[in-house]
Amino acid sequence: MSEYTAVITGGNKGIGADLAADMTARGWKVISLARHPGEAAEVEHVICDLSDPAAVAQAAADVAAKHEVTHFIHNAGIILPNLIEDARPDEMLALTQLHLASALTLAQAFLPAMKARGFGRILFNASRAALGAKTRTAYSASKAGMIGMARTWALELAEHGITVNVVAPGPILTDNFWGIVPKGSDQEADLAKRIPVGRLGTVRDVTRTFMFLADPDAGFITGQTLFVCGGASIGTVPI
């Protein structure tokens, strides 16, 4: 039996799937919660629509009943870009459920096992857009909410050996990015030039950061947000 069990939302593709591969390579048990199964046979795929509160509650209860979860990584997310004139309140509600409320429901289910063990790692995949970005009214608000929620949880859970941290990527070459910026386009090349390090981020850049914070030895880091953005959070705002 693996010493560690990780639940990754959106662990079926992109950053989530890459992270799952690194964790399974360490011998950890990994469970992905997503609307669709991934291809990795070594990952347990639980089908769950995180935008549905009832479905999340059921999945949380089922997973917690079967596994003593030590790591919870809330990675799943969507953008719903719109300028302020076109932004809608229902988009704000949808992303609040996906990015924040579903995380709360899942964490509440996994915390008893973490507290009993005196160990846990809770990680959020937020965004540099939490600092502000055009067309990101609902997205930036919910991602900024992750940072505030993580800092609160970090204070409440530190005494139990549970750390809570946030990874905030900048522009990363994923399907979400290419859904807004055409792949291989002049726009993509221009964005890369405007990043201080001179390139766009990769899935591996983000996975390495998650693995650092997920490490059992990273117990003196909590309540922190680590921007994986090539310097975009301190320099030119790319998008």
Phi, psi of 150, deg, nearest 5: -65, -40
Count of H helices and E strands in the chain?
8, 7
**Strand pairing of 162-169 and 225-228?**
parallel
Report residue 106 as tokens: 């899942």
For residue 122, give the nearest of 148, 80, 154 by alpha carbon: 154
Q: Which of 4, 110, 124, 139 is an active site residue? A: 139
For residue 201, give the nearest of 125, 139, 99 by alpha carbon: 125
Contacts of 201 (CB under 8 A, 6+ apart): 169, 170, 171, 172, 173, 228, 229, 230
For residue 226, give the nearest of 163, 178, 179, 182 by alpha carbon: 163
Residue 4 falls in the annotated catalytic set: no
Q: Quickly tell me which residue has 């929620």 as its tokens.
A: 149
Q: Which residues are catalytic?
A: 139
